A and B are shown apart, each in its own frame.
Chain A
Amino acid sequence: MVTQYGIKYAVHLITTHFGDLVAKVCECLLRRGPLTLQALVKFTELSSSQVKNSLLVLIQHNCVQAFLPEPGDHGDADKLNTQYIVLFDNIIHRWRFPKFLNIVSEKLDEQCVKLLEGLLQHGRLTLKQMSDRDRARLDQKEGEDVILDATRANLIKLLNARFVERCPAAEPVLAKPTEEESSARKRGPKSAKILEENETLEHRVMDAAAPSEALRFLLVTQTESAADGGLDESNTSSLKAGVKRKSDALESETESGAADEQVLLWRANFEEFMRRLRHEACIVNLRARLDDGAVIVLRAMLEATRSAEKKVKTEHSVPLSLNSIYEEVIKSVEGRNITFDRVRASLVQLSCPPFVKAINESYSIDFKKIIELAQSDEVESVVLKRYGSDACKMFRLLSNTGRFVETDKIADSTLIEKKETPMVLYKLWKDDYLHMEKLQLTGTRQSHFLLWKVKKNTIREHVLDEMFHAALNLNLRLAYEVEQEKELLSLSQDNRDKRLRKVKLLSQSQMKLDDAIMIFHDF
């Protein structure tokens, strides 16, 4: 779901990070979809080398992916040229780098954080480049090999935790969509088609470019036999990470181990970070509703099933038996004094409303439900603040029933004065929070009724767009305040403190708003 303000927000971000030229190329791709170099030159009215360099920057930072469309039946010559597709999500992820670093600092040591920081800063790096960075940072006294080994060990740690992955292929050939995919696309409504088509194309390109699951988290050391024991051990465990290992691919990798350090590019694995943030969001949401026991059980379930998740937007976790949940619960510090019966009771608590579904004595987390609830919370909070508690009550009623309800019926269910109900509903309708339909009856005295309904998808999109707008505004205001701060440095301490507090509040709000955006956009 890319909205108008989403595009503006992304372009603003690229402008602040990489300047106007790159932003112009990026905006062109965001608005027009995948384009060839020639088309980009034509639309942006920049010189060919300017566009090329901008594309290189964007590719280096994982914001654009090149691909070769497979020659179609029509033999269209233009289609054989390399096309460039912009990856909107990866642009927005740039705001989340502090969050990603935070996750790594909780799980791994300082050296790994530094390594990831380098990857986030530069987009893609080879092992050699990473080690060079480490050498520049650390004491120069140690030998090159020692530092290379240390860097390699850290990279392996990050790979084992799936925080880093191998970069996708530079220019994959796009296979024709399977019949299933194309028929699925045909069914959608016309208006949503363009956006949807772009999204499925993005998926297909990324699928084609992704390294095989076996290679994705695999680092083959230069000389396996020379590696010391500790390294070897961690290395083999990184081998295990690959699920479907292709032995021939592995062999060729081993041979070219030395060259790999110079050529093979690594990058941060945004997917894993998003998965962890998603899990964290689920826990935060649940904590507001249930007691600590239930939260500990959910956390344990998330921990146990994380590695089995294939994509970020997974709807259900892998089912777990009560025993394996208990096993996982007692692994954590806070879960150690929880009894088996309490875990069982917590699971009962979690299953109404159904955050966790129980089928045949095994339990699976209903992510979709938890995320939907978090979305409703956010929307209702906005409705409450903008239109008051009566409006929020009506909105909740309509959003819970999910169908048309007549004005008087709404007044009855919410215990709100019949005269006031239509006015409140009208306000919500005017701002696109409700959908209204008139029902005309011929004959009797009362000739028309008003029916109201909440269209969840439309609202989600509407709120997300406003959130992107708000995020852009926060950024602009923050930039403005920082600018002012420079001018005011000569001012008194008191005034400076005030400025600092403002900047702090703005950046905190930015992070919190981004959490909400993730709930609507990424999860």
Chain B
Amino acid sequence: MSRFQGANALKRKRPGSASDALTDHDQAVLDVIRSKQDMGIYQRDIKREIHIKNGINLPDPAITKCLKSLVTKNLIKEVKNIQSRGKKHFISVDFEPSNEITGGAFYNEGSLDTEMIAQLRRLCWNHINGLQIATLEAVTEYINRTKVPKVQLSKQETAELIGALILDNEVMEVKSSGTGEFASIPVGKVCYKCISKRAHGAEPKVGAFASIPCGVCPRISYCTPDGIISPKTCVYYNKWLDF
């Protein structure tokens, strides 16, 4: 038996509670799930684990029955796993599912919370823009103060948010020189700065190539001067030149 099970048993001393009424099979399933701590386990893997640990070969319907009874007794819960949302994943109520299962602060019910991310990104940008030069700590503290994220964001998670802003070319990473605008920041520390002349969420300036039909043409490799697709007969050109 795993050592975790012993620890959990101590934690959950509830004389006369529902666990007393557990069948052997229920207990075996519960033990396996508890042993997985905050990672939880797939329904289909439970059978294998029980076979390894207890040498019992439980049929699938029996396991389903145990799971149902454990859920109703409020000993385990079903969680969504971002890796494979279709599969049933169970975790003991003693644990909060780990970030690997939920995906972290930016996930809700196993899928990416795009609305919240957009809101957080705007907050990040506004704060960096207001401060002109911002450190990771300053942004993290500010974001957590706003209470927009459901859980407190770690520095790592804020860095991910800013990272996405950098990839969108709205913010840039700079190293403090310790002078001028960096006066309050130690030399060499990584800071963030908004790219001037670019409002948040604004479309970047279109390049010369991308602003003509050929630059965005999905058929350019089929286009030849006298072919079926040719610049003289091109529909994209016609559209572009149609004032």
The residues of A with any CB-CB pair to B shorter than 8 Å are 288-291, 345, 348, 351-353, 377-378, 380-382, 384-386, 389, 393, 396-397, 400, 412-418, 463, 466-467, 469-470, 472-474, 476-477, 480-481, 498, 501-502, 505-506, 509, 512-513, 515-516
Q: Are B208 and A477 in contact (CB-based, < 8 A)?
A: no
A476 CB contacts on chain B under 8 angstroms: 225, 230-232
Q: Which residue of B lies closest to A474 (CB)?
A: B212
Q: 26 A-B contacts, Cβ less than 8 Å apart? A: A289-B197, A345-B180, A348-B180, A352-B174, A378-B208, A378-B210, A381-B205, A381-B207, A382-B215, A385-B210, A412-B160, A413-B167, A415-B117, A418-B82, A418-B112, A470-B209, A473-B214, A474-B214, A476-B231, A477-B231, A477-B232, A502-B241, A505-B240, A513-B209, A516-B207, A516-B209
**Interface size range of chain B in the complex:** 35 or more
Interface string of B29-47 (1 = CB under 8 A from A): 0000000000000000000
When the two chains form the complex, which single residue of B112, B214, B234 contacts A466, counting CB atoms closer than 8 Å?
B214
State the CA gap A118–B196 with chains docked (Å).
44
A509 CB contacts on chain B under 8 angstroms: 208, 211-212
Q: Are A415 and B209 in contact (CB-based, < 8 A)?
A: no
Stretch at the interface among B11-19, B62-70, B216-224: B216-224
A498 CB contacts on chain B under 8 angstroms: 243
Q: Are B111 and A417 in contact (CB-based, < 8 A)?
A: yes
Name the prevailing secondary structure of the A interface residues. helix
State the CA gap A474–B207 with chains docked (Å).
16
State the CA gap A476–B119 with chains docked (Å).
48
A477 CB contacts on chain B under 8 angstroms: 231-232, 234, 237
Most chain B CB within 10 A, of A380, A384, A480, is at: A384
B232 CB contacts on chain A under 8 angstroms: 476-477, 480
B168 CB contacts on chain A under 8 angstroms: 389, 393
Q: Which residue of A lies closest to B176 (CB)?
A: A352
Q: Are A382 and B207 in contact (CB-based, < 8 A)?
A: yes
When the two chains form the complex, which single residue of A415, A470, A472 contacts B215, counting CB atoms closer than 8 Å?
A470
Beyond the given pairs A377-B207, A416-B112, A509-B211, 8 more chain A to chain B contacts, judged by CB atoms under 8 angstroms and listed by A's residue number, are A382-B209, A413-B164, A414-B167, A415-B164, A473-B214, A473-B231, A480-B231, A505-B240
B179 CB contacts on chain A under 8 angstroms: 348
Check B195 for interface membership: any CB of A closer than 8 A. Answer: yes
Q: Say whether, besides A291-B196, A470-B215, A473-B223, A381 and B206 are in contact (CB < 8 Å).
A: yes
Q: Say whether, besides A352-B177, A414-B167, A480-B232, A466 and B220 are in contact (CB < 8 Å).
A: yes
Interface string of B72-100 (1 = CB under 8 A from A): 00000000001100000000000000000
State the CA gap A291–B194 with chains docked (Å).
13
The residues of B with any CB-CB pair to A shorter than 8 Å are 82-83, 106, 111-112, 114, 117, 160-161, 163-164, 167-169, 172, 174-175, 177, 179-180, 195-197, 204-212, 214-216, 218, 220, 223, 225, 230-232, 234, 237, 240-241, 243
State the CA gap A512–B205 with chains docked (Å).
14
B231 CB contacts on chain A under 8 angstroms: 472-474, 476-477, 480
A353 CB contacts on chain B under 8 angstroms: 172, 174
Q: Are B167 and A396 in contact (CB-based, < 8 A)?
A: yes
State the CA gap A142–B206 with chains docked (Å).
53
State the CA gap A337–B179 with chains docked (Å).
22
When the two chains form the complex, which single residue of B111, B163, B206 contacts A413, counting CB atoms closer than 8 Å?
B163
State the CA gap A516–B196 with chains docked (Å).
23
State the CA gap A509–B210 with chains docked (Å).
11
State the CA gap A501–B220 with chains docked (Å).
25
State the CA gap A505–B237 with chains docked (Å).
11
Most chain A CB within 10 A, of B167, B169, B234, is at: B167
State the CA gap A463–B169 with chains docked (Å).
21
State the CA gap A481–B231 with chains docked (Å).
11
A513 CB contacts on chain B under 8 angstroms: 208-209, 212
